[in-house]
């Protein structure tokens, strides 16, 4: 069984993919810059045991990361646990994706992995939305070329900045209020945060389609997408396993 790991600024996603390329485990933990390799190893072992898997079930590993300071720590944890070399998704690794941006090396590994999964599963052209610390949108044209995208302030980052810089606005949980028009401070904040992000996605998809001159398949992933996508007026497919699927595809393309 293949262990797939994606290290993000806020969360680390762990997934297991079986021989049929089915995602059989998906878990998310907080990214801890101070954790040691041993501490991450304990977390990974616990995640496997919680899901009725054993260390011996893992025979290889693949990883992507946008947090260099944590990458080597998690790689060492995986090596200690499973005694395998970790394949890294990044420059020099075959993806099958034709990247047309000004400097392909600048493309985040998570965006590339998302795009690899999407072109193998959904009709092109594609708009791929990943809602994490930042919200990223990637555009793949009808010839499966990665054309570029957009980077937006992440929903949690924006909410934290708002409450930090205002004396009387409290932190709120991300929950959908009963009405768009809030009648108290808490509901006003919830409504403003969630519906502004939903409206942003709707509007950006419209503008991307105008620029491409054709309709696109929109796919969303990331920890916050489950909250926002149901509020969008555009049809957006939710796929929280997108990164894990993409890592598995990249692994198969590069494994000797």
Instruction: Please indicate if the annotation marks 11 as binding a ligand.
Output: yes
Instruction: Please indicate if the annotation marks 110 as binding a ligand.
Output: yes
Please report, for residues 60, 167, 225, the alpha-carbon distance to residue 2 in angstroms, rounded to integers and kept in the order given.
5, 48, 25
Catalytic residue numbers, as ranges: 110
Strand pairing category for 2-7 and 60-65: parallel
Instruction: Please indicate if the annotation marks 83 as binding a ligand.
Output: no
Structure tokens belonging to residue 38: 């041993």
Please report, for residues 3, 30, 80, 125, the alpha-carbon distance to residue 26 in angstroms, rounded to integers and kept in the order given.
10, 14, 21, 27
Instruction: Please indicate if the annotation marks 8 as binding a ligand.
Output: yes
Instruction: Please indicate if the annotation marks 108 as binding a ligand.
Output: yes
Instruction: Please indicate if the annotation marks 185 as binding a ligand.
Output: yes
Instruction: Please indicate if the annotation marks 176 as binding a ligand.
Output: no
Question: Which residues sit in the known binding site for substrate?
Answer: 108-111, 185
Question: Which residues sit in the known binding site for K(+)?
Answer: 130
Question: Which residues sit in the known binding site?
Answer: 6-13, 108-111, 130, 133, 185
């Amino acid at each position: 069984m293949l262990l797939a790991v994606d290290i993000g600024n806020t969360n680390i996603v762990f997934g297991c993919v079986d021989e049929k390329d089915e995602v059989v485990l998906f878990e998310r933990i907080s990214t801890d810059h101070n954790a040691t390799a041993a501490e991450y190893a304990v977390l990974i072992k616990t995640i496997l045991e919680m899901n009725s898997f054993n260390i011996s079930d893992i025979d290889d590993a693949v990883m992507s990361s946008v947090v260099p300071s944590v990458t080597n720590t998690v790689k060492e944890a995986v090596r200690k646990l499973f005694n395998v070399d970790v394949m890294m998704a990044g420059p020099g690794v075959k993806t099958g994706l034709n990247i047309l941006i000004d400097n392909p090396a600048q493309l985040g590994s998570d965006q590339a992995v998302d795009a690899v999964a999407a072109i193998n599963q959904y009709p092109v052209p594609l708009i791929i939305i990943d809602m994490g610390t930042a919200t990223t949108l990637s555009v793949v044209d009808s010839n499966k070329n990665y054309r570029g995208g957009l980077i937006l302030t992440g929903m949690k980052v924006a909410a934290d900045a708002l409450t930090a810089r205002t004396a009387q606005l409290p932190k709120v949980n991300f929950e959908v209020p009963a009405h768009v028009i809030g009648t108290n401070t808490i509901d006003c904040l919830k409504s403003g945060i969630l519906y502004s992000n939903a409206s942003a996605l709707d509007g950006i998809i419209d503008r991307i389609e105008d620029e491409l001159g054709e309709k696109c398949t929109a796919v969303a992933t990331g920890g916050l997408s489950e909250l926002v996508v149901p509020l969008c007026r555009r049809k957006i497919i939710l796929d929280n396993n997108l990164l894990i699927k993409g890592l598995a595809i990249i692994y198969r393309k590069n494994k000797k």
